Amino acid sequence: MSRTTLTQRIDAARAEGRGVVIGYLPLGFPTLSASVEAAKVLVQEGFDAVELGIPYSDPVMDGPVIARATQTALEAGFRLRDTFGAVREIAQGNDTPLVVMTYWNPVLQYGTSQFTTELLDAGATGLITPDLIPDEASEWLEASSKLGAERVFLAAPSSSDERLKAAADASEGFVYAVSTMGITGAREDVDEAAKSLVARLRAQGAQRICVGLGISTPEQVTDVLSYADGAIVGSALVKALDHGGVEELRELAHSLVHRH
């Protein structure tokens, strides 16, 4: 049985007249088994999809909370190949789309087709590639098209219309709209920049747009879903897991999904 894809999940939610809530957690934090348990909490609490981050030694685009968590994971011995077993475990017994977020270099080192094949086999639907732009992604575009992996590219307020169109055309699943300039992290109010970025992406033909970076409260999720197809919460979940373990994570996760 093939798993539900991001595209299918977003379209199904849209048919119900709602947006999707996506949660991000890094694999390997605080330990590999604990990260699997934490991701399962997001699935149990009804997140529409779960993003699993692969720890990387030079996380240029991550805020301090996520960077610290990935550093902890690497120090605890996380290896790239641990990704596949973790995804397989998280995927068991549910149909929630799982997407892996990774910097491009580890995938390249592993072998793009090999990595993609093993990832899909484990139960993920595709990859979010924060540091890869479509015009430098020919190998990934080819492998993902051939193997049937969804691919999510990022778009930022600073991007030209031409760059936004490239992201809209190349993405499958959704386009990841980076709501604020700079690195990830929970912010008090999600920028107006996010709204105008979503509008610009729609003008460039983007079908599905999810907003991430800086979303940490149920109110912000509701606000983002008034103009985008999905809201992505990351740092706030990592912080909750770090501060109060699975219990605090579950509490926050529940409040983000059940906002009424």
Distance of CA 7 to the CA centre of its chain: 13
Of 48, 62, 223, 229, the active-site residue reads 62
The answer to whether the beta carbons of residues 190 and 166 sit under 8 Å apart is: no
Sheet holding 98-101, edge to edge: 150-152, 126-128, 98-101, 49-53, 20-26, 230-233, 209-212, 175-178, 154-155
Of 51, 82, 172, 223, the active-site residue reads 51
- How would you label 27-40 residue by residue, b for 16+ Cβ within 10 Å and e otherwise? bbbbebeebbbbbb
Q: Is 135 a catalytic residue?
A: no
Q: Is 58 a catalytic residue?
A: no
Distance of CA 164 to the CA centre of its chain: 18
Q: Residues with catalytic annotation? A: 51, 62
